[in-house]
Amino acid sequence: MKPEDNDRIKAKKYLGQHFLIDKNIAEKIADSLLYQGNVLEIGPGMGILTAFLLKREHVNLAVIEIDGESVDYLHKYFPDLRVIQEDFLKFDLSVIFQGQFAIIGNFPYNISAPILFRLLAYRRYIPEFTGMLQKEVAERIAQQPGSKEYGILSVLLQTFYEAKYLFTVNETVFNPPPKVKSGVIRLTRKEDFNLDCDEKLYFNVVKTAFNQRRKTLRNSLKGFEKSRLIDSDILRKRPEQLPFEVFIEITKQISN
């Protein structure tokens, strides 16, 4: 069925709705997904990405969308699609499929960070996460230690995933256009994604270090009971200089 013009949804700002209108770019994003098997699309909106995902072989697709108007639209134009009308940030993702699934989307930028923290929490289920975010966030995730943009999400995501920045997308291919450029990334889970230190403490150490990123670790990590056990070489450093392996080392040093 061809969408009728008066069916088109007026974007809701509070839901971060910026609908992609360029089909070539939608196809390019869909083609960036390497995983074959179960796939969950977050925020399909009017389904511009969805249409390309449905054409792919070896993809068993479900979509999760919070907006009732978008859900009605999807039911009308994609009658066979499995649509879950829920908040991605609240829904228990483990019940959608049996086993593992990849995530894809042109994500709502107003909740990028919470989406990425959710990925971290559910990483056991999620071997790949591919899609579009604000360019700045996409770049930050893939950034190596030593750069100003390297931060909490870079460290935490790189602990478990290989991050690859794929391409940049201009404001002009959205309706309404966002204020910023967009970037498409692919995160591929590492073969060994177990953390061999106290996970809660690890997340806490990384967050604490970056919350005072201009201080040396000697100052920012003072509050941890056993911080005196950390190597003095490490204590002289600032968080943005350190790869995730060093944060694991720190966590081990203060947890025994």
**Residues of this chain that bind ligand SAH (CB under 6 A):** 15-20, 42-45, 48-49, 64-67, 70, 87-89, 106, 108, 111
Cis peptide before 178 (omega within 30 of 0): no
Q: Which is nearer to ligand SAH, 52 or 210 (CB)?
A: 52
Residue 6's φ and ψ, nearest 5 degrees, are -75, 0
Report DSSP letters for 34-73, one per residue.
Answer: ---EEEEEE--TTTHHHHHHHHSTTEEEEEE---HHHHHH
In contact, 50 and 41? CB cutoff 8 Å: yes
Q: Is 105 helix (H, G, I), strand (E, B) or coil?
A: strand
Cβ-defined contacts of 62-67 (< 8 Å, 24+): 62/38, 62/96, 62/97, 64/40, 64/88, 64/91, 64/96, 66/15, 67/9, 67/12, 67/15, 67/17
Q: Please, what is the minimum distance in Å from the beta carbon of residue 73 to ligand SAH?
A: 10
Q: Which is nearer to ligand SAH, 94 or 144 (CB)?
A: 94
Q: Please, what is the minimum distance in Å from the beta carbon of residue 46 to ligand SAH?
A: 6
d(CA 72, CA 131): 24
Q: Which residue is nearest to ligand SAH (CB)?
A: 43
Q: Please, what is the minimum distance in Å from the beta carbon of residue 197 to ligand SAH?
A: 31
Q: Please, what is the minimum distance in Å from the beta carbon of residue 153 to ligand SAH?
A: 18
Q: Which is nearer to ligand SAH, 67 or 139 (CB)?
A: 67
Q: Please, what is the minimum distance in Å from the beta carbon of residue 16 to ligand SAH?
A: 5
Residue 163's φ and ψ, nearest 5 degrees, are -105, 135
Q: Please, what is the minimum distance in Å from the beta carbon of residue 15 to ligand SAH?
A: 4
Q: Please, what is the minimum distance in Å from the beta carbon of residue 64 to ligand SAH?
A: 5
Q: Which is nearer to ligand SAH, 48 or 254 (CB)?
A: 48
Q: Which is nearer to ligand SAH, 150 or 174 (CB)?
A: 174
Specify the amino acid at residue 234: I
d(CA 134, CA 8): 24
Q: Which is nearer to ligand SAH, 43 or 127 (CB)?
A: 43
Specify the amino acid at residue 159: T
d(CA 15, CA 129): 21
Q: Which is nearer to ligand SAH, 15 or 54 (CB)?
A: 15
Triad 154, 157, 163: Cα angle to 5°: 80
